[in-house]
Structure 1
């Protein structure tokens, strides 16, 4: 499990996409799980945590799309 000292969505998205399944922690925010290259949003999460998940997942999707497009060139 990786611990991120600062919330940096792009950096965390790289980690999530690269390792595909696992956990990470953001200091002051808590522990998050990811599966299939996406952060799992749980019902019990507060709104701030859900927003973090959404932002990281958007970055991960953008990275995945960019990789797929680059493969066909």
Structure 2
């Protein structure tokens, strides 16, 4: 049985949700590391915390914030005057 493993690993030295969201939107399966927060996975364009990190509130807040940013980048608001 072949397992699809994420092959891309990206390290972010700072927590910048917009930059991370741009990366997550472009890569559907990847691994990322954010300094100060830890490891995350990108699954189908969404950022997910590893099981061992899900107990930490700041990790869940960061993942939620990044995923909101991904959805905003995917569906931009129309600016009509």
The TM tier, using the shorter chain, reads 0.7 to 0.9
Partner of 1:55: 65
Unaligned runs of 5+ in 2: 1-8
Unaligned runs of 5+ in 1: none
Aligned residue pair count:
67
Larger Rg belongs to: 2
The structure in which a higher percent of residues are helix is 1
TM-score, length basis structure 2 = 0.75
TM-score, length basis structure 1 = 0.83
